[in-house]
Structure 1
Amino acid sequence: MPQRPFHLLLVDDEVADAELFEEVFREDFPEVVITRALNGQEALDHLARSAVDPAVPRPQLIVLDLNMPVMNGHDFLQRAKAHDGYRSIPVLVLSTSAGVRDVQRSYHNFASGYAVKPASYADLKALIQRVSDYWRGAVVLPRIDQLME
């Protein structure tokens, strides 16, 4: 029995990082549909479109980098979590920064989790496996149609 699609919004301006992330998901989790945004503003625009256009997938999980142009991850988190319609979408920060201030600020702005980007392909695969096991298996997420309620 085929699994239902799981919609993930990847917000990262580093093209190589995003392509590697997508490659791991394509290989190991083909049912995950990834939409990419290059910065926080593009991510907010996607969320706004998904609220009014059924053809635009509403993410069940957002994976967010912090250091991006136009709107960084901290500003995105602050705006998204202040919006009633987006607040319940879990956000996993995936950043090269292990800085205490970045971690604290992310959780202060209601990030659902924080992980440091791995340096190797094998470590990235292992991290994505753990992320998938947790967000797609261990926890109960609201249905997409319940996220606006």
Structure 2
Amino acid sequence: MVDDDPVDVRFVMRAFSDAGNKVEITHVADAEAASDRLDAEAFDYILLDINMPGTSGVDLLKRLRGRTRTAVTPVIMLSSSSNVADVNRAYENGANAYAVKPSTLSGYRAFAEGFTRFWVDVAVAP
């Protein structure tokens, strides 16, 4: 998970834990740290916020799609923005999905459950 907001990170981690998921969340707070980490390690999925200080999530997404190691790793944008332009930019640059951050813990739980049902239980990973 690449997100600069510690509150959102806690909500996501708690939601996945509460949902009884086997998904292990690794967190980095900015795009540069994520870029370095993704150069060194392979991850099954990337949850990526758009709006972060410094390098934006979309700029990181472009970088990831240009690298062999992360070119096909599923990237799910998880952003507070519901702006159509942001959604379109994310998909145009290779996002596999886009979700607006929920406003409640129950919303985050629903996201975690839906994520697991699709990405872990149904989708075939590259």
TM-score over 0.5 for the pair: yes
Q: State whether structure 2 residue 94 is matched by structure 1 residue 110.
A: yes
Larger Rg, first or second structure (1 or 2): 1
TM (norm. structure 2) is 0.95
- Other-structure match for 1:130: 114
Q: State whether structure 2 residue 38 is matched by structure 1 residue 47.
A: yes
CA deviation map 1:15-69 (0-9, x unaligned): 010011101112223522111111111111111111xxxxxxx210000001111
Q: State whether structure 2 residue 25 is matched by structure 1 residue 31.
A: no
Higher relative contact order (CA 8 A, sep 6+): 2
Match of 2:3 among 4, 12, 16: 12
Q: Give the Cα separation in 1 of the matches to 2:111 and 2:93.
A: 23
Structure 1 segments unaligned to the other structure (5+ residues): 1-9, 51-57, 143-149
Q: State whether structure 2 residue 108 is matched by structure 1 residue 120.
A: no
Q: State whether structure 2 residue 62 is matched by structure 1 residue 78.
A: yes
The one-letter amino acid paired with 1:73 is G
Question: In the TM superposition, what is the alpha-carbon distance from 1:138 to its structure 2 partner?
Answer: 1.1
**% of aligned pairs identical?**
33
- Other-structure match for 1:61: 45
TM (norm. structure 1) is 0.81
The one-letter amino acid paired with 2:3 is D
3-state SS of paired residue (2:121): helix
Structure 2 segments unaligned to the other structure (5+ residues): none
Q: Give the Cα separation in 2 of the matches to 1:101 and 1:27.
A: 33
3-state SS of paired residue (1:124): helix
* Partners of 2:18 and 2:109 within 8 A in 1: no
